[in-house]
Copies of this chain bind each other. A is one copy, B any other.
Amino acid sequence: MATLNELAELIGGKVVGDGSVTINRMAPIDTAGPGDITFIANPKYLAKLKDTTASAVIIKPGIECPGVSLLVCENPYLGFAKVLTALHVKRPEPQGVMEGAFVSPEAELGADVTIHPGCVVGKKARIGRGTILYPGVVVYDGVQIGEDCLIHAGVLIREQCRLGNRVVVQPGAVIGSDGFGFAPDGKSYYKIPQMGIVGIEDDVEVGANVCIDRAAMGVTLIKRGTKIDNLVQIAHNVVVGEDTILVSQVGIAGSSQVGNHCTLGGQVGVSGHIKIGDNTMVGAQSGIISDLPAGQVFSGTPSMPHKDWLRASAGVKNLPAMRKTISSLQKRIDELEKLVKER
């Protein structure tokens, strides 16, 4: 519950209308009523504005609507996210170490942590202030987790890995499993000990059942602000830059580097020892087998500039027709050759 003025201050927006109105909840434009705030990020829904009975609407500058209070900001979708968080997300009260949690006496716990039943925290592990471990989280020896993290149920973090502050890990993710390294001895494979760690910087989100392998030596690094969707695989010694998006089921092989502000679409595969520049986008299901420059869009396996891929894909679909065309050209040339040579 907040006044519209308070929400405007929160998101850095401007009220047009009655700023003293009390807002109880966020609701979609079609169902929002009195006491609700809603938002319009897509201009095609502007027509619905005049019929709404919502108490307020988050909206871009330059739109007028006398009957309803407006919360005007440059990025209504971002405003929506912030207001939604303010109205509806409440961090649970800290519970300390709950019954049924096993925390090593040698672990170091910050103030206001919550460690649910079924969690196991190893020796010399460090859990920062305000961090919550949901049930069944396993933290091996020597792990360091920063402040205000949310580590959801069943997350498994192996020895010595490091997480920054405000990291969110969805259920079932594995951080610090052994990298996939084996030395062939001619017939069999000999395991190469994976001596490194995983480092996850501040404000990263890790999806459900994601796997991030520890480095062979050194660190597999996920930089600040990057968001990783469910079931993504990140191999040993990979470096993922800042504010990058890895959509579900992406797989990145060993030692590859993904730049800052990149987006890799769902099910993309990246070979080992590849470099992807900053601000690069890769279409879903693409296979990256060579370095990609910064700031462009790629698709396909092997990947090519997205526009080329669209044309090539259309070409593939058209191959049976093309075959027929070639065959008919062939016949016409046969005919011509006969005619010309006869003379």
Residues of chain A whose beta carbon lies under 8 Å from any beta carbon of chain B: 28, 75, 77-78, 80-82, 84-85, 88-89, 99-100, 102, 116-118, 120, 134-136, 138, 140, 152-154, 156, 158, 168, 170-172, 174, 177-178, 180, 182-193, 195, 203, 205, 207-209, 211, 213, 217, 225, 227, 229-231, 233, 235, 243, 245, 247-249, 251, 253, 261, 266-267, 269, 271, 284-285, 287, 289, 300-302, 304, 308, 311-313, 315-320, 322-323, 325-326, 329-330, 332-333, 336-337, 339-340, 343
Q: With the chains together, A295 CA to B317 CA distance in Å?
A: 21
**Bound CA span A81–B225, Å:** 35
Which listed residue (B78, B284, B330) contacts A184, Cβ 8 A?
A: B78
Residues of B within 8 A of A153 (CB): 120, 138, 140, 156, 158
Residues of B within 8 A of A78 (CB): 183-185, 190
Closest Cβ neighbor of A75 among chain B residues: B185
- CB-CB under 8 A for A77 and B182, given A168-B191, A225-B188, A312-B316: no
CA distance A285 to B180 in the complex (A): 18
Do A322 and B326 have beta carbons less than 8 Å apart?
yes
List chain B residues, Cβ under 8 A from A302.
Answer: 313
Q: Are A136 and B134 interface neighbours, CB within 8 A?
A: no
Which residues of chain B come closer than 8 Å to A300, judged between CB atoms? 316
Contact B311 A285 (CB under 8 A): no
Q: Taking the nearest CB of chain B, how far is it from the CB of A9, in angstroms? A: 17
The answer to whether A211 touches B207, judged by C-beta atoms less than 8 angstroms apart, is yes
CA A156 to CA B169, docked complex, whole Å:
13
A311 contacts B315, C-beta separation under 8 Å: no
Known: A177-B208, A318-B323, A332-B337. 11 other contacts (CB 8 A): A100-B120, A102-B117, A120-B136, A140-B153, A168-B178, A170-B174, A182-B205, A208-B213, A285-B287, A302-B313, A315-B322
Q: Which residues of B contact A178 (CB under 8 A)?
A: 168, 170, 205
Number of chain copies forming the complex: 3
> A267: which of B84, B195, B251, B319 is its contact (CB, 8 Å)?
B251
Closest approach, in angstroms, between the C-beta of A125 and any C-beta of chain B? 12
The residues of B that contact A235 with a CB separation of less than 8 Å are 248
Task: Report A123 CB to chain B, min CB distance, Å.
Answer: 11
Bound-state CA distance A233–B170 (Å) is 14
Please tell me if the beta carbons of B174 and A243 are within 8 angstroms of each other in the complex: no
**A231 with B233: CB separation less than 8 A:** yes
Provided the pairs A84-B195, A136-B138 are in contact, do residues A248 and B180 lie with their beta carbons within 8 angstroms?
yes
Min Cβ gap A283→B in Å is 9
**CB pair B269 A285 closer than 8 Å:** yes
- What are the residues of chain B within 8 A of A301 when measuring CB–CB? 285, 313
A-B contact pairs, 5 of them (CB 8 A): A120-B153, A134-B138, A180-B248, A235-B248, A312-B316
Q: Which residue of B117, B190, B193, B245 contacts A88 across the interface (Cβ within 8 Å)?
A: B193
